Structure 1
Amino acid sequence: MPRPHGFTYERRGDGSVVITHRGRAAGTLRGARAEKFLAEVETGDAQLAMARWTGAYRFGNERTAKNHPRNRR
């Protein structure tokens, strides 16, 4: 599975964090969740962390697997 890419995040003045994927808003974190996210981004792989926090990490082979003859019913 390819590594996630295309994610960016922006800290807002009210303490929230907006995560975007390819220019579109993918999620907004506030309060303790925003602080936990920022700590994770600073210590690990930022792209992977943003993909996990937005739930977009699964995009890739699901469509291919769904169309495989063994998975059709």
Structure 2
Amino acid sequence: MPRPQGFTYDERADGTVVITHRGRAAGTLRGGRAEKFLAEVVSGDAQLVMARWTGAYKFGNERLARSHPRNSGRR
């Protein structure tokens, strides 16, 4: 799996955290979730943490898997 990239986050004065991916808003966190996110981002790989929190961590093989013979009957 390729390493996630292009994520940034912005802490706002009201405690809200906005996560962006390549300049577009990918998620907004408030309250306890924002605090938990900030603690996790500092202690781990920031790009991977932001990708996981926004749900944008599946890249690469989704289109290929759809056309695989074992998945031909599923749509």
For Structure 1 versus Structure 2, the TM-score category normalised by the shorter chain is over 0.9
Distance 2:18 2:69 in 1: 40
**Aligned equivalents of 2:51 and 2:33: distance in 1?**
15
Following TM superposition, by how much is the alpha carbon of 1:59 offset from its aligned partner in structure 2, in angstroms? Answer: 2.6
How much has 1:68 moved relative to structure 2?
1.5
TM-score (norm 1): 0.94
Percent identity of equivalent pairs = 79
CA distance in 2, matches of 1:7, 1:61: 20
> After alignment, is 32-41 or 55-64 more displaced?
55-64
Which residue does 1:41 correspond to in 2? 41
Q: Which residue identity lines up with residue 11 of structure 2 in the other structure?
A: R
Distance 2:33 2:53 in 1: 10
Instruction: Give the match for residue 57 of structure 2.
Output: 57
Structure 2: state its 5+ residue gaps.
Answer: none
Q: Which has the higher helix share?
A: 1
Runs of 4 or more, structure 1, over 6 Å off, are none
Alpha-carbon separation, structure 2, partners of 1:19 and 1:6: 11
Query: What TM-score do you get using the length of structure 2 for normalisation?
Result: 0.92
Cα RMSD for the two superposed structures: 0.8
Is there any run of 5+ residues in structure 1 with no aligned partner, and where? Answer: none
Question: Number of residues paired by the alignment?
Answer: 73
